[in-house]
Structure 1
């Protein structure tokens, strides 16, 4: 039996194109687009963009200064659960950097990191209350659920949002801090 190279090569290329094209289409239209739609419809979300990998879904959002971070995370997690499935959800907040808010956050970072390390989450709220007393015009809000601690800092029209994971992993520099 003699195999002809050209038909075998064409069949292999078409099969690979169909397989990977279907995988890409599912990722784009079955995961990314529905999550973008869910996130964009939430109050406080200006824009949303999703990227999908094998075991993680990364949702990059731009939030308005009056956004409720914990509520947005919770609603995306529950309303987008069909798209997310068993993957982990990482919410990345895209925001313009404000020098005063960054300086205020850095001044409280030691107390926040210590509270997170010792799993004394009320210490995060205490650190934010103390920060509000030290920095005039600063509003700080902390919320917590079973997976994360959410910190929202606002000063005028500027806002900074930080999600601190409650998992038992080694603490380091938070990628969104």
Structure 2
């Protein structure tokens, strides 16, 4: 039996195109587009990028000043639960930070890490607030849900958002900084 090379290659190419095209269409139309519309409908949020893997959904976004990161996370988690399934929701906020905010956060990080490690979460707001210089004009907001501690630092028009996971086994290096 002699196989012809052209029909075999053509069959493989068409099958691969249909298979990967179908997967791409499903990923785009059934997963990413509905999730993107949920994110875009959330007040104070501008969607930058969405990437859904088999284990997690990574969403990069920008927040308007005064927007609660906890409320954004909870809104996306609840409204997108049918789309997300058991995937972990990972938010990355890409707002403009300043060198002053980054340096301030670096100096406060040891106290925050100690409070996180010992699970004394109530110390975080008081520790951060005590470090804020009254004349600087910097504002600190801390919130918490069952999975994360959310810290918002605002200095004028610059903001820094941090999500710290509450589960100790995930706290080696904080990826959402």
TM-score computed with the length of structure 1 as normaliser: 0.91
CA 1:90 to 1:14, structure 2 compared with 1: closer, same or farther past 3 Å? same
The residue that corresponds to 1:163 in the other structure is: 163
Q: Is contact 1:150-1:162 (8 Å) kept?
A: yes
The residue that corresponds to 1:84 in the other structure is: 84
Gaps of at least 5 residues in structure 1 are none
The residue that corresponds to 2:33 in the other structure is: 33
Q: Is contact 1:104-1:135 (8 Å) kept?
A: no
The residue that corresponds to 1:74 in the other structure is: 74
What SS class does the counterpart of residue 101 from structure 1 fall into?
A: helix
- Counterparts of 1:135 and 1:155, CA distance in 2: 11
CA 1:81 to 1:170, structure 2 compared with 1: closer, same or farther past 3 Å? closer
- Counterparts of 2:101 and 2:135, CA distance in 1: 10
Deviation string 1:2-28 (CA, Å, 9 cap, x unpaired) is 433322222221111111111111112
CA 1:81 to 1:158, structure 2 compared with 1: closer, same or farther past 3 Å? same
Deviation string 1:90-117 (CA, Å, 9 cap, x unpaired) is 1001111212211221121001111111
Deviation string 1:109-164 (CA, Å, 9 cap, x unpaired) is 00111111112211222222212356631211111111111011112222111000
Gaps of at least 5 residues in structure 2 are none
1:111-150 aligned at under 5 Å gives the runs 111-133=111-133, 136-150=136-150
Q: Is contact 1:47-1:62 (8 Å) kept?
A: yes
CA 1:127 to 1:18, structure 2 compared with 1: closer, same or farther past 3 Å? same
Q: Is contact 2:91-2:176 (8 Å) kept?
A: no
The residue that corresponds to 1:176 in the other structure is: 176
The residue that corresponds to 1:99 in the other structure is: 99
Q: Is contact 1:39-1:48 (8 Å) kept?
A: no
- Counterparts of 1:23 and 1:119, CA distance in 2: 43
What RMSD, in angstroms, separates the aligned Cα atoms of the two structures?
1.7
Q: Is contact 2:165-2:171 (8 Å) kept?
A: no
